[in-house]
Structure 1
Amino acid sequence: MSVAFTSFPGLPTSVAAARRFVAGILRACPEATAPEEVVDRAELITSELCTNALRHTRSGDPGQTFTVWIRVDEHGVRGEVHTEPVRLPHLVPQVVESHPWCESGRGLFLVDQLATKWGTLSPWENGVYFLLAWPQPR
């Protein structure tokens, strides 16, 4: 199993840096070659979760950070976005239905559609994880 993590400043430009970090780890991992479809999905999921971290947690406040973890093994990838506490107490990430003309509010819907599984980290941690399983050979 390979594990990599790094922290990013709580700035909008960090979302693209987090995507590049995840793609780079997946493409360079010695344990398993990530299919390009998995790399693409991981990049998009990371982008959505990091954007939500900046928008809904104190990670987006001046001087704050968020951390991205990637674990890769022969079964797939687990990504985590660790954040500062949420701005509103008891705010739990969940998929919501957005109006078709809204320009935001679809991030977790995309995560839900693309990830094998996703959810919040343990109660003593702030953040969200996702799993992407490798496609099984036929």
Structure 2
Amino acid sequence: MAEARQLREYVPAEVPESAAPATIEDGDLTGGATDHTVWSCAGNLTAVRSVRARVRDFLARMGHSETVLDDAELAVSELATNALLHSRSGQSGGVMTLFIRSDGTRLRVAVADQGERAGEGGHSREDGDDFGRGKLIVDSCATRSGEYWSEATHVAWFEIEDPRPGLSLADTAL
């Protein structure tokens, strides 16, 4: 549990200004609500199911549309799976942190992991394996997305604009 406390202290809920890519607007989410959850994962991919459910439940309570719920659930599934497969968070004693923030019309979800696994290099499409498509999935679901690193942590995040929260697809066709 000491690692969970350490990770919480290391990982800000918002992107630090020094690491913020130009695609993030200067204005932070104001008002609204935040959910911050730490999972002890121990390499267990079943945590991804809990992450998806947590995001969907929180955003539904905030009144977001079904389309946004579906997109957020798919995008966070990719981020959480990558955190467990490619970082120390998926190893014995690993911890993954989920941050969710919503002001009702815009949401931000971030998954923080414990950085690259010791002794492993990164994967690329040239490896011949089935890697590298998660970012495309996240980008197709999100308005904005990105990632940043601190000393011992990697954070992947996305934002989705929901200008008409609480409306179903049938409501928007009117």
TM-score for both structures, normalised by structure 1: 0.81
Gaps of 5+ in 2: 1-31, 166-171
Whole-Å separation in 1 of the counterparts to 2:33 and 2:122? 29
Match of 1:71 among 82, 97, 101: 101
Partner of 2:51: 18
| CA-CA distance at 1:103 after TM superposition | 5.0
Unaligned runs of 5+ in 1: none
Aligned residue for 1:4, secondary structure, equals: strand
What does the per-residue CA deviation read over 1:44-64, in whole Å, with 9 as the maximum and x for residues that have no partner? Answer: 001000000011110001111
The normalised TM-score by structure 2 is 0.65
Q: CA RMSD in A?
A: 2.9
Runs of 4+ in 1 over 2 A off after TM superposition: 102-105, 121-125, 135-138
Establish whether residue 2 from structure 1 lines up as the match of residue 29 from structure 2.
no
- 1:77 maps to a residue whose letter is L
Is 1:85 paired with 2:112?
no
CA distance in 1 between counterparts of 2:148 and 2:158 reads 10
SS at match of 2:48: helix
Indicate which of 150, 157, 170 corresponds to 1:129: 157
| Number of residue-to-residue matches in the alignment | 131
% same residue: 33
